[in-house]
Structure 1
Amino acid sequence: MFKHLFASMNDMLDEVLSEYPASTGRKRKQLMDKLKSLKAMSDECIEDWLLFEEKLGRTMQETGIAPRPEAGKPQTEFAEQRSDQFIRAQGYYKLHMYKEAACQFSELLRRQPDLTLARVYLAMSYLHQGLREDSYSQFHLLSQLTEHVQLKAISLNAMGCIQVQQNNLDKACELFAQAYRTDPASVEPLLDMGICADKQGGLQFNWIGTRTPGPPL
């Protein structure tokens, strides 16, 4: 299902890439509208994906499907036991009460700093409040600590978005490129790279030819 979705999104993106350089006026506006639509779809996928990963990890753990970790090997980052506080914090987040959610997740992480999903929610709670520096710090920590390829790419991409908001476009492009190298299947970093470059006077995707595949999940 996701393969077909992202294949369609990639086809749309290829169309924009091929037509944008020669476009002007109304046609260029139509292409930018397509980019914005793809961006909105990608944003929606991120939170849904995180919720699914959490639910899948919990279900596998409860049913005994997941194999027991070998000695010295970490369990999957999303197979975390959900405490009452985690459920309460997640409830605040779903109700868009981001300040309350951040307080709960912060307290939880002080006691259990390795709870990856809690840190994702904390970073996003800060971002929704406009606390860019706090959010950036959490996403940076995630990008350094996580072994989950998609989560690392999402963290790098979020850092790039924050750099765009602060008008640090060169740094943003560097982070988007790094996110794409980490997870080539991701559409959002490429899309953001285009929007970022457009603010500098035109869409430029020259870096695409130099990207290298990231490690598999």
Structure 2
Amino acid sequence: MKIEDWFQTLRTKAQTIEERWQEASEQERLQLADQLFYLRQVSDTVVDLWLQFEEKLSNAIRHIKQMEGQLPTETQEEKAKPVSLKKEPLATDHKQDGQKGTASESKSEPKFEAKADKLPQAMHAYEPVFRRGEGFYHLRMFQDAKKCFAELVKEAPDWESGRLYYAYSLLFCDDKEMAFREFRLLGKSASSPAIVAISSNAIGCILAEEKQWLEAVQAFKTSLEVKPEQEEAKYNLALCYLMDGDAQEALDEIECYLQKHEQDWEAQLLWLRAAKLLMQMDETAELVAPSSLTLPNRELDNETLQEMAHLYEAVGNYHRAQVCYHFLTERLPKEGWTWHGLAWNTWLIAGSKRALTLVKKAISLAPEQDDFVFSYGWMQLFDGNIPGAIAAFRGILAKNSENRLGQSGMISAFEKVGETLEAKRLAKLFLDDADPYIRSLGYFHLGRLAMVEENWRLAEQYFQRTLPHADQFREIPLYLQLCASKLGAEAVQNELVQP
């Protein structure tokens, strides 16, 4: 028998039972109910077998594409990259006051209530099991909840909210494979749009945690198609776009989400990460932070404040970065890095008058940190205090003559005072370094020195060599444009003087 014919037979049986039900006697209805239960078991088995086949097929296709070079293999760094998804557990808010929850705990779906007067008569006997499982679930006793809901699903397989609780219990007991099957079953067969949307969101989370970004995106889109106001799916969709490297799509989605969730700091972090990625991909990108991107607040933990500060710096929002470091210096007054971060952003905003005092504080707390001393010298250099800057850079080199920070500072100082030969000598030392970034830094310095000498062709060649690390040197596009304009003007001038 063809598989199409077999499914047609099953559909015919279900239709026959439906047609006979109204006129059937009590005894006949019991027999028909047994047949329905059997068809449900067949359906569950078919769905399970199909999901196993689909999973195996997807894995085979992905692995073959990787072997053929059509898909990149995952690096260890990518495997370790955390994904903060909103899984939307059904539990009510279980966190104590002041306790920080994880991303997966940050949203809670209202409980599904199975009132006796709305349940089919056959299900009334199992309501105590449901209530007991619900109680275990809200107490986060997921193993006990799983046992209760497994019993409920076995005896009342069409109780959709019970099956949803069962799926989440499986998920939080780390039985992802079984949870996935239950969510897929609900996504395909549930009559409640809310349950379909929640199940699709949960499917997306499971797929995303397996780095299957495209499939996860489709699951979150399905959730939003069924229930457009499903806020968790909007956030998760933005996160998947970001993790898949689609910065612009991530920004579009998270900006929409932030319109309703102005105080969601996780969403603010996501916007900042996406903005940073977009700027790395496109130096000409123009970014306008959404008005709902609120200032950092003291309630955030230290790690979050530090990451937000770094991301604000990356997108050029130094005032907000300054606020983050201000909070961090209040909490960690003996940590030099907090004062250094505050000093650097203060300097970028208002100059060195206040910033020099702050960076001195950082140096006093961590005198072994050469980058703090470098920042002090760099501020002096741009203030025109060349002797003070050189003294700072030489202090670094006195401890280690090959320190690249100290050498880089000296190159810039020599450039300022017109000692280009000595600056070139130091910059060429960078070209023999094993680190590609250090080599690019050497080419960057040599390009700037060639510009000082108005050797535009040579400068252009040096700047071209820095392009593999252009995201570290924001001035490169501007310098290349300047070189091109200068070289173009020279070409025109040469044409004009031709006889």
Which TM bucket (shorter chain)?
0.5 to 0.7
The aligned length equals 151
- The 5 A counterparts of 1:102-117 are 102-117=146-161
Superposed displacement of residue 110, structure 1: 0.8
Q: Indicate the residue corresponding to 2:397 in structure 1.
A: none
AA at the equivalent of 1:134: M
Does structure 1 residue 201 correspond to structure 2 residue 264? no
Q: Indicate the residue corresponding to 2:178 in structure 1.
A: 134
* Higher RCO, Cα 8 Å, sep 6+: 1
- The 5 A counterparts of 1:28-177 are 40=103, 43-46=106-109, 49=110, 51=111, 53-54=112-113, 58=115, 61=117, 81=124, 83-177=127-221
Of 84-93 and 166-175, deviating more is 84-93
Superposed displacement of residue 204, structure 1: 4.2
> Per the alignment, do residues 87 and 76 of structure 1 end up closer, same or farther by CA in structure 2, a change over 3 Å counting?
closer
Q: Distance in 1 between matches of 2:168 and 2:235?
A: 20
Specify the SS of the correspondent of 1:153. helix
Q: Indicate the residue corresponding to 2:393 in structure 1.
A: none
> Per the alignment, do residues 88 and 195 of structure 1 end up closer, same or farther by CA in structure 2, a change over 3 Å counting?
same
Q: Distance in 2 between matches of 1:197 and 1:95?
A: 34
> Per the alignment, do residues 162 and 190 of structure 1 end up closer, same or farther by CA in structure 2, a change over 3 Å counting?
same
Percent same amino acid at aligned positions?
Answer: 25
Superposed displacement of residue 159, structure 1: 0.1
TM-score calculated relative to the size of structure 1: 0.61
Q: Distance in 2 between matches of 1:42 and 1:182?
A: 23
Q: Indicate the residue corresponding to 1:180 in structure 2.
A: 224
AA at the equivalent of 1:129: C
Q: Distance in 1 between matches of 2:153 and 2:198?
A: 20
Q: Distance in 1 between matches of 2:104 and 2:129?
A: 31
RMSD over aligned Cα, in angstroms?
Answer: 3.0
Tell me the alpha carbon deviations over residues 11-70 of structure 1, each in whole angstroms, 9 at most, x when there is no partner.
xxxxxxxxxxxxxxxxxxxxxx9x9x9x95995331xx1x1x41xx628x3xxxxxxxxx
> Per the alignment, do residues 204 and 148 of structure 1 end up closer, same or farther by CA in structure 2, a change over 3 Å counting?
farther
Q: Distance in 1 between matches of 2:175 and 2:104?
A: 24
Tell me the alpha carbon deviations over residues 118-152 of structure 1, each in whole angstroms, 9 at most, x when there is no partner.
11110110111111111111111111111211211
Q: Indicate the residue corresponding to 1:13 in structure 2.
A: none
Superposed displacement of residue 101, structure 1: 1.0
Q: Distance in 1 between matches of 2:220 and 2:105?
A: 14
Superposed displacement of residue 89, structure 1: 1.5
Q: Distance in 1 between matches of 2:248 and 2:232?
A: 15
Specify the SS of the correspondent of 2:239. helix
TM-score calculated relative to the size of structure 2: 0.28
Tell me the alpha carbon deviations over residues 63-102 of structure 1, each in whole angstroms, 9 at most, x when there is no partner.
xxxxxxxxxxxx689xx74622222222221221111111
Specify the SS of the correspondent of 1:45. coil
Q: Distance in 1 between matches of 2:198 and 2:247?
A: 22
Superposed displacement of residue 166, structure 1: 0.9
Specify the SS of the correspondent of 2:135. helix
Superposed displacement of residue 191, structure 1: 1.0
Specify the SS of the correspondent of 2:247. coil
Counterpart contact for 1:142–1:152, Cα < 8 Å: yes
Counterpart contact for 2:204–2:216, Cα < 8 Å: yes
> Per the alignment, do residues 40 and 76 of structure 1 end up closer, same or farther by CA in structure 2, a change over 3 Å counting?
farther
Counterpart contact for 1:89–1:105, Cα < 8 Å: yes
Specify the SS of the correspondent of 1:151. helix
Counterpart contact for 1:195–1:203, Cα < 8 Å: no
> Per the alignment, do residues 181 and 42 of structure 1 end up closer, same or farther by CA in structure 2, a change over 3 Å counting?
farther
AA at the equivalent of 1:154: I
Q: Distance in 2 between matches of 1:192 and 1:125?
A: 21
AA at the equivalent of 1:203: A
Q: Distance in 2 between matches of 1:193 and 1:109?
A: 30
Specify the SS of the correspondent of 2:107. helix
Counterpart contact for 1:123–1:139, Cα < 8 Å: yes
AA at the equivalent of 2:203: M
Counterpart contact for 1:92–1:98, Cα < 8 Å: yes
